[in-house]
Structure formats: structure tokens, C-alpha cells
Amino acid sequence: METTNLQGSIVSSSEQEEKKVSAEPQKILAGFRVNRPNREQIDTRPQSLDALLPEGHRARLVWDFVERQDLSGFYAGIKVREGGPGRTAIAPEILFALWLYGTVEGVGSARELARLTEEHDAYRWICGGVQVNYHTLADFRVDHEKLLDDLLTSNLASLLAVGAVKLNRVAQDGMRVRASAGAASFRRGKTLEDHLRVASEQVTRLKTVLHRDLPSPSKRSQAARERAARERKQRVERALERLPEIEEAKRRQGKPAEKARVSTTDPEATVMKMADGGFRPAYNTQFATDTESQIIVGVAVITSGSDQGQLTPMVKQVNERCGITPGSWLVDGGYPSHDQIDAVSEQTVVYAPVPASKKADIDPHVPKKGDSESVAKWRERMGTEEAKVIYKERAATAECVNAQTRQRGLTCLRVRGRCKARSIALWYTLAHNLMRMVSLVPEWFGEGVVASRVPVIAI
């Protein structure tokens, strides 16, 4: 049955019943006197920032750690002085703590971090009322690669001094991280030369317009266009500079050099085979980790998808950083070329799988004719049961560290260039080591942190 309402529209009987049923509860509730929510009112709660976080909170641990670091190098770039002109700078301790805590919590975006400083209690507590913007955060994150590296060295020295890190064995592994470049940004040599010519003409044209007498807003806008065109030209130039390296790599692979391509977005990014079998622009991040303490003692970022040749540089880095060389070095099958084993044989003992022989009746652990003394010892060593037991520590260490860094967000870089990518890797290294230090030396983290509470807050 259908009826017509006052507005002239047709209403079915089922719709009338639904409206009647929905109206009945309102009639029933109308007779009660209750307090209903009024969300338009202003709510003011006088509360100190320090009361926002409980004792032992991760943000407090991070701040305790930051306060003990020598951050004098970060102050060197601050130009404003007491009594002088200029806007007061943000204390480097705040920016350092924000990024360190954000990395521990898996925050990898400067915009997201800036938003959290206004909405999240832990980040507000770190700021202590100081306002920060995402530009400042983004610049701070990538502008201090050398200082971050020095802090890593200083922390390792402290851990070695108290015996928390012994460096008996170290496991090294590489992890490919997606670069901030699209597959469509890769161009061959001829196309790069055409792009460079067009970019050069555009820069010249924009510079000419910029020198004209323009209104202030238009002049700023024109200057931004000229800067963007100039930066694009520089990227194309760097891509052309790297092209011979990629061409040589193609030749070694038995492929035509003409197939070599370089990205105009991030010239240092290289197309690599990823863990899922796909090919994408990426960087190869190398970590060397103490097997006993799970502390990262070496970090590098390379532009090659292969781990071949990365054993010697990392051994050298750890030796220079820590003052000693680990007694044993555990790597997977991508590292142990004969020349690499020979190069480090006098410094450490290499544990790496021996390639299987093509013939079933040949034991790969028996020294071959032409093997050097160090290579022959490596073959024999890897055939023993003791070596098999020791080598199990590699996966338990290196794969664990890789998994934890990925859980914290090291899956895709938001910066471009190898130096900036290494800065990001250093932030993840410092964050990982910090959480390990909470477990290894809890007495370093203030009176409010006790050993029994460490498992609750540590990863």
C-alpha cells in the first residue's frame, strides 16, 4: 500500500513502518533527564608536559641517551648567537631525539614527524613546547652523515670499554632498499644527451626572465622555477657521468653496453633484483653485526646489487672504527671470492659456504690445485662440524637485524643520493643499537629504568 505525504511524494507502507519504529525510541527517551555530550565546549586541562609520560617510557630513554652524546658538532652550523640578530635556533638535542625516537617507532617521514609533534604526547614531550617544521626536520636528517658516523664510533667505544661488545664474531649481510626513483626515469645515453640539451636551454631562458624587472611575488616564483630547472640539469649531468660505470657493468655481464640506463631522478640508484624476484631501483645497505650482543658495528651503502667485493671494505671499516678486528667473520655465499679471502686472511677468519662442485664425486672442501694457502684453509675449515655450528650464527644475527630494520620502516628511501641514503642507514643503526643498549647496559638510562622493566620496553 502506498500513500502520498504532504510534499506530494509517494511513500510506501514499509517506509512508514520503519520511520514509526525509529521514532518510538526517541519518544521513550524524551521523558528522561540525562546529560548528553556537548563537543562544542572548550576543554582546558592544566597539565605539565612531564606528566604526560610514565617513568621508563621509550621517549625518556631516548632523551637520556641524547643527553649523554657529544652534539657539539651539530652546534657548529648554528649561526645565531646570544645578543645577536636572527631567529633563535632549535636545539639540536630536540631534532636528534625526535628522529631517533621516530626511527625506533617506525616513523620515516618528516611531515609525519612534524604532525606528531603537535598531536602525540611522546613527541610533544621531547619538543618541550618548541615548535618544529618538516623542512627543518628533513634537512637535519640528511645533513650530518659524518657526525652520525662519529656518534656510532663513540657509542661502540663505550660498549667495548664496559665489555658489552666483545667482537669475537661478526656477521655481515646486505639488504636492498627501494630507492626514491621510478623505473620510467631511467634513460639511455642518447636520450640523456637530449635531456641535457633541453635542460640547459631551459636554465638559460629562465635566467634571462629572472633578471627582468618583475613584481616581488612573480620574481620569487620565477626564481623557484629557475632553481628547479638548474637542479634537473645537474641530475642529468650526474647521470651522464655515471653512464660509463653502468656500461662497464653491462659488458661484464655479457650484455650490450648500449643497453645501459641511468635514472634522471636519482643517478646513483641502480636497478637491482629484490627479495620478491622483481627488479626495481634500489641501494644495497650493508650491516656488520656483533653476533653475541646484536650491536651493529659497521654500516655501508653501495650502488651495486651484488655483495661481491664488500668483505674487505667492511673489515677495514670495523677495524678503523673499533680499533680491533673480530676474530671471525660470517658471510653468505655472495661474498667469498678468493681475492677477498686472501685480503683479510691475516686479520680475521672467514666463515662462508663453499660453492658446490659441478661433479658429484668431487668434495668441494678438499683444496684444489692453484688455491692459495688462505683459500685452502677456508675450504678445509668449512668442511668441519665446528664450522657448521659457528656458521649458524650468521642467519640468527644478520637476518634478525635486517628484519628489525625493515619493521622500523627501512623498506623504501624517501631521499635521493648515496650519501643521504647512508645517513638514513646510520639513523636506523643508532636506533637499533640504542634498543640493544637498553637490554645490555640498563644502568646507563637513568634512575627510573630498572633491569626488570627492560624486556617490556625493549624490542
Say yes or no: 126 and 67 in one domain: yes
Say yes or no: 301 and 231 in one domain: no
Say yes or no: 241 and 358 in one domain: no
The pLDDT of residue 444 is 85
Say yes or no: 153 and 300 in one domain: yes
Tell me if 131 sits within 8 A of 261, measured CB to CB.
no
Say yes or no: 388 and 313 in one domain: yes
CATH code for the domain of 382: 3.30.420
Q: pLDDT tens digit string along 33-83? A: 888 888 888 877 777 888 888 988 999 999 999 999 999 999 988 888 888
Domain count, the chain: 3
Q: Is 200 within the bounds of a domain?
A: yes
Domain residues for the domain of 213 are 183-263
Tell me if 307 sits within 8 A of 335, measured CB to CB.
yes
Say yes or no: 202 and 282 in one domain: no
The pLDDT of residue 2 is 52
Q: Is 454 within the bounds of a domain?
A: no
Which of 263, 289, 322 delimits the end of a domain?
263
Cα(311)–Cα(297) distance, integer angstroms:
14
Q: Is 77 within the bounds of a domain?
A: yes
The pLDDT of residue 445 is 81
Tell me if 178 sits within 8 A of 412, measured CB to CB.
yes
Q: Is 44 within the bounds of a domain?
A: no
List the pLDDT tens digit at each of the 459 positions of the chain. 555 554 455 555 555 555 555 555 555 566 678 888 888 888 777 778 888 889 889 999 999 999 999 999 999 888 888 888 888 999 999 999 999 999 999 999 999 999 999 999 999 999 999 999 999 999 999 999 999 999 999 999 999 999 999 999 999 999 999 999 998 999 999 999 999 999 999 988 888 877 776 666 677 888 888 899 999 999 999 999 999 999 998 898 888 988 899 999 999 999 999 988 899 999 999 999 999 999 999 999 999 989 999 999 999 999 999 999 999 999 998 898 999 999 999 999 999 999 988 887 888 889 888 899 999 999 999 999 999 999 999 999 999 999 999 999 999 999 999 999 999 999 999 999 999 999 999 888 865 443 333 333 333
Q: Is 5 within the bounds of a domain?
A: no
Say yes or no: 257 and 163 in one domain: no
Q: Is 281 within the bounds of a domain?
A: yes
Grid cell digits, residue 7 = 510534499
Say yes or no: 133 and 256 in one domain: no
Distance of alpha carbon 154 from its chain centroid, rounded? 20
Cα(329)–Cα(394) distance, integer angstroms:
9
Q: pLDDT tens digit string along 140-180? A: 999 999 999 999 999 999 999 999 999 999 999 999 999 99
Q: Is 441 within the bounds of a domain?
A: no
Say yes or no: 298 and 176 in one domain: yes
What percent of the chain shows pLDDT beyond 90?
66
The pLDDT of residue 140 is 96
Say yes or no: 206 and 60 in one domain: no
The pLDDT of residue 325 is 93
Which of 219, 237, 263 delimits the end of a domain?
263
Which of 228, 263, 298 delimits the end of a domain?
263
Nearest-5° angle of CA 192, CA 195, CA 196?
85
Say yes or no: 257 and 192 in one domain: yes
Say yes or no: 123 and 172 in one domain: no
Q: Is 447 within the bounds of a domain?
A: no
Axis-axis angle for helices 311-322, 145-162 (nearest 10): 70
CB atoms within 10 A of CB 355: 9
Cα(170)–Cα(165) distance, integer angstroms:
11
The pLDDT of residue 4 is 53
